[in-house]
Structure 1
């Protein structure tokens, strides 16, 4: 069953029971993404890692690698 079919079934059931209909699919996607980002930042702080800029630093290292110095 697809998300749309499930939504239509839930809406039909709610209407028959006189309840409020559920929100349409995708209504809270951005809020969920923000909450997930905040949770990941919180977990980084608890694990004593930098909470911001980790992805940007990783991409910077991959795109602009520094030549390794020899330890002679």
Structure 2
């Protein structure tokens, strides 16, 4: 059963029971992605790492290592 078929089945069942319809598939994808991004930034700060520019900083250190 596809996601759309499951959504239509859930909508039909909710209508039969007089309940509100469930949210459409993909309706909250951007919100979930944003919250996941904010959570990763929060975990970085709590762990004592910089919250921004971690990938670029790692690439710069890899490409141009310091000469000791």
The TM tier, using the shorter chain, reads: 0.7 to 0.9
Hey, what's the Cα distance between the residues in 1 that align with 2:59 and 2:27?
31
> Runs (4+) of structure 1 moved beyond 6 Å?
none
TM-score (norm 1): 0.79
Equivalent residue of 2:25, what SS?
coil
Q: List gaps (5 residues or longer) in structure 1.
A: none
Structure with higher Rg: it is 1
SS in 2 for 1:26: coil
Backbone CA RMSD of aligned residues: 1.9
Q: For 1:20-49, what per-residue CA distance to the aligned partner results, in whole angstroms no more than 9, with x for missing partners?
A: 101100000001011001100110011111
Q: How many residues align?
A: 68
Structure 2: segments with no counterpart, 5+ residues: none
